[in-house]
Structure 1
Amino acid sequence: MIGRTDVEEAARRIEGRIRRTPLVEAAPGLWFKLEYLQHAGSFKTRGMMNRILAAQERGELPAAGIVVASGGNAGLAAAYAARELGIPVEVFVPVTAPPVKVAKLGKLGARVVQVGNEYAEAYEAARSVENALFCHAYDDPDMVAGNGTIGLEISGESDRVLVAVGGGGLLAGVIAALKGRAEIVAVEPENSRAFHEALKNEGPTDVTVGGVAADSLGARRAGDIAFELATGAGIATTLVTDEEIVEARRRLWDEYRIVVEHGTAAAYAAYRPEGNRQTVVLLCGANTNPADLG
């Protein structure tokens, strides 16, 4: 099982290659971790950089480079990391991926393949590629450990951390870093609830996905690592509606001039003040079209 030692090792490995993003007090008792300011616009750059560097250390990185399936953000992280490290990258995304993400993938130098309507279909296509190193978007120990470095940057500053969940790669990393140090709240959209169903069924199972946050939180199946760590830590899930997500995203813009994805806003949608408790909301991605914020 992945623990804090693995996260600390990842932090040493990726130091100088990722941004230590700001942690700011938005209101009394409410803090925002501004991870949307990370390279390539999301937390996934931490995990992807660690995945590639760890593979290099082990002699597992082929000349053909890496391949990844993504709803958008994992692909952007892979493209950025591959460009910085000078290796080839191929990214499979569904045809429903937001154009803003697809365009940015091209700018970062990735070869982009669009296939299927959901992440799961892009995943199956990516897995069929030979010779390249497949980098799972969320269910990989090195990815999880890299993602968990966010937790090290807020350790000791919070009583409670709100984390948006798709496949669970960020949640797993935060648990590995902060288990026993803060309450961790997993937040999912009602229409994309793979982690919730995994807990209910005592193991990851396939679910249907949809809703406004499906491009970033639309994993059809929760990761085994996230499920194992969450059940070991007694983590439950909180569900939010599409309407709550849209409103939270709008409030982040209206009140703080913060522009994030719907998936990112899901974490804020679950925020409720709790006395004197200090709550950190992880604002994990900003690869979105702000035109509808008006």
Structure 2
Amino acid sequence: MNSPLAYGDIKAATERAAGHIRPVTLTLFDPGAIRTAHRDPLDDRDPAPCNVWAAMEFMQHTGSFKARGAQNFIQAHKEAGTLPQTGVTIASGGNAGLACAWAAAQQRVRATVFLPTTAPAVKVDKLRAYGADVELVGDEYAEAAEACAEFARTSGALASHAYDHPLIAAGAGTLMEEIHQQLPQVDTVVVAVGGGGLFTGVATAARHHGVRVVAVEPENCRALNAAIEAGHVVDVPVDSIAADSLGARRTSTMARHAAQQAGVPSFLVPDEEIVKARRALWDHRRLAVEYGAATALAGLTATGGYVPQCEENVVVILCGANTDPTTLTPRPLS
């Protein structure tokens, strides 16, 4: 998909999604929870902390933001009369497949989902509970995607995509519309990036509203960061604790274009900081999110991450919670 996403695409997605998705909830972190930039040393006033909200998008249908794009994709094809009897198919690390299966089930359409064999069991089990046909192929998303494309060619199923499709990205952008509607004074939105569907939608809407977007990726899943650095989309190695949701081998051309248009700062965080951020959300807020969601928060808490200015209004998107909650607490000593 080579065409840039437009703000009009997001407005259309917002109309389609009305009544079908859960509006995002914003919750304010404790004052001083996130460090801020230093004031001018000649300014002797007490520094005002930044204001940081969590966008609790993990409370969305299917446990992640992906429900927005899937709903827009299915609804748009329903409107156009292009939903085939053979159903829809998608390759996914888990979350996009769950969203596709959920949206398809609402229209009584068959969904066939291809996942890598490394996909978490919790996501596989939920897919089957939605009635999806599940195919486990290869060790990475890219291998599952190849098998999915072949299935679409031979079966006639409508091929969706986890992130690289304008209807998927536009649906994800409805999240930014809700954030801006609830918090018009927002200055900055921090978003974790995998393939780039959420990032593309959020960045496109944010640019329209004059809001800064900060992109955060694991150090060893840096598809967008590498594309920004190279000036074009490139393949990257995938090796991170957050790879099940952020493990795309390459970002989309739409995402690279959105980053270029908006001058988006890109930050990389190590896995240990992602683990710490996820554990902090559990310890201090009792929020059980997946590593991909914690990556966004790590972009604010890790050394070398984004440092807000005093009084800056920041929203960090917690994008998914399809995770095994038993990994949040230490194992008892034997």
TM-score between both structures, scaled by the size of structure 2:
0.86
Tell me the residue number matched to 1:174.
202
Output one character per residue of 1:109-142: Cα deviation in whole Å (capped at 9) or x when no partner: 1000000000000000000113000001101000
Candidates 61, 66, 85, aligned match of 2:83: 61
Q: Say whether residues 1:5 and 2:13 are aligned partners.
A: no
Q: Say whether residues 1:256 and 2:299 are aligned partners.
A: no
- Per-residue deviation at 1:55? 1.4
Tell me the residue number matched to 1:32.
54
Tell me the residue number matched to 1:164.
192
**Secondary structure in 1 matching 2:29:** strand
Contact 1:186 1:238 in 2 (8 A): yes
Equivalent residue runs for 1:224-239 within 5 Å: 224-239=253-268
Larger Rg, first or second structure (1 or 2): 2
Q: Say whether residues 1:241 and 2:270 are aligned partners.
A: yes
Contact 2:115 2:137 in 1 (8 A): yes
Q: Give the percent of matched residue pairs that are identical in Structure 1 and Structure 2.
A: 49
More off after superposition, 34-43 vs 79-88: 79-88
Amino acid corresponding to residue 284 of structure 2 in structure 1: E
Equivalent residue runs for 1:1-294 within 5 Å: 1-28=4-31, 29-129=51-151, 130-155=155-180, 156-179=184-207, 180-271=209-300, 272-294=307-329
Distance 2:189 2:258 in 1: 16
Distance 1:143 1:92 in 2: 17
Distance 2:260 2:77 in 1: 28
- Per-residue deviation at 1:229? 1.4
Amino acid corresponding to residue 134 of structure 1 in structure 2: A
- Per-residue deviation at 1:38? 0.3
Output one character per residue of 1:17-65: Cα deviation in whole Å (capped at 9) or x when no partner: 1100211112230101000000000000000110111112222221111
- Per-residue deviation at 1:3? 2.2
- Per-residue deviation at 1:8? 1.3
More off after superposition, 70-79 vs 266-275: 266-275
TM-score between both structures, scaled by the size of structure 1:
0.98
Amino acid corresponding to residue 21 of structure 1 in structure 2: V
RMSD over equivalenced CA pairs, Å: 1.0
Contact 2:24 2:179 in 1 (8 A): no
Amino acid corresponding to residue 208 of structure 1 in structure 2: P
Output one character per residue of 1:148-180: Cα deviation in whole Å (capped at 9) or x when no partner: 000001112411100000000000000111105
- Per-residue deviation at 1:105? 0.4
Aligned residues between the structures = 294
**Secondary structure in 1 matching 2:98:** helix
Distance 1:273 1:258 in 2: 23
Amino acid corresponding to residue 280 of structure 2 in structure 1: R
Query: Which aligned runs of 4 or more in structure 1 are off by greater than 2 angstroms?
Result: none
Amino acid corresponding to residue 191 of structure 1 in structure 2: N
Contact 1:4 1:178 in 2 (8 A): no
Amino acid corresponding to residue 135 of structure 1 in structure 2: S
